[in-house]
Structure 1
Amino acid sequence: MWGSTIPTVYYGFYCDPRLQKLYWTMISALAIACAVITLNPRFRRPELRPYRAAMYTGLGLSAMIFIVHGIMKYGWSMQNQRMSLSWMGLMTAFNLVGAVTYAARVPERWHPRKYDNWGSSHQVLHISVILAAVAHMIGLFRAFDFLHTHGVICD
Structure 2
Amino acid sequence: MENEPSSDNRDSNEQDIRRRLHERPRNASSGDIDTQPTFLRSRSDSSKTNLRDKTDELADSVFEVPTKCVEQAKEVGKRVVEYVVDHALLPHWLVDNEFLLSGHRPPMPSVKQCFASIFRLHTETVNIWTHLLGTLFFICITVYYITQPANEVHIERKIVFCAFFLGAIICLLFSTLYHTLSCHSPQFAYIFNKLDYCGISVLIISSFIPWIYYAFYCEFGTKIAYLSVTTILGTGCIIVSMWDKFASPAYRPYRALLFIAFGLFGFIPTMHYGLLFGFRHAFTTGAAQWLALMAVLYITGASLYAARIPERLAPGYFDIWFQSHQIFHVFVVAAACVHYYGICILSRHQDSIGDCHASVISPSSSVLTSFFR
Structure 1 length as normaliser, TM-score?
0.92
Segment of structure 1 superposing worse, 77-86 or 20-29: 77-86
Q: Which residue of 1 aligns with 2:353?
A: 151
Q: Does 1:107 align with 2:307?
A: no
Moved more, 98-107 or 36-45: 36-45
Name the structure 2 match of 1:133. Answer: 336
**Compared with structure 1, are the counterparts of its residues 49 and 152 closer, same or farther at alpha carbon in structure 2 (3 Å cutoff)?**
farther
Aligned to 2:205: 2
- 1:106–1:120 Cα contact (<8 Å) kept: yes
Residues 291 and 339, structure 2, Cα contact 8 Å, conserved in 1: yes
SS in 1 for 2:317: coil
Question: Do 1:91 and 1:135's aligned partners in 2 also have CA atoms closer than 8 Å?
Answer: yes
1:83 maps to: 286
Question: Which consecutive residues of structure 2, in runs of 5 or more, have no partner in the other structure?
Answer: 1-203, 361-373
Pair 1:62-2:265 in alignment: yes
Q: Distance in 1 between matches of 2:253 and 2:221?
A: 35
Cα separation, 2, equivalents of 1:120 and 1:128: 13
Match of 1:43 among 234, 246, 249: 246
1:80 partner amino acid:
F
**What residue identity is the alignment partner of 1:37?**
V
Distance 1:94 1:72 in 2: 25
| Structure 1 residues without counterparts, runs of 5 or longer | none
Q: Are 1:11 and 1:82, in contact at CA under 8 Å, matched by a contact in 2?
A: no
Distance of aligned partners of 1:66 and 1:114 in 2 relative to their CA distance in 1, 3 Å threshold:
same
Write out per-residue CA displacement over residues 55-104 of structure 1, whole angstroms, 9 at most, x where no aligned residue.
10001100001110111112113333453101111111111110110111
Matched, 1:142 2:345: yes
SS of corresponding position for 1:48? helix
In the superposition, the TM-score normalised over structure 2's length comes to 0.40
Q: Do the aligned partners of residues 51 and 117 (structure 1) sit closer, same or farther apart at CA in structure 2, a change above 3 Å counting?
A: same
- Paired residue for 2:127? none
Instruction: Give me the identity figure in percent.
Output: 31
Distance 1:74 1:29 in 2: 26
Aligned-residue CA RMSD in angstroms? 1.5
Contact 1:12 1:70 (C-alpha < 8 Å) held by counterparts: yes
* CA-to-aligned-CA distance 1:96-118 (integer Å, 9 cap, x gap): 11011011110111112322222
Bigger RCO of structures 1 and 2 (CA < 8 A, at least 6 apart): 1
Q: Does 1:22 align with 2:229?
A: no
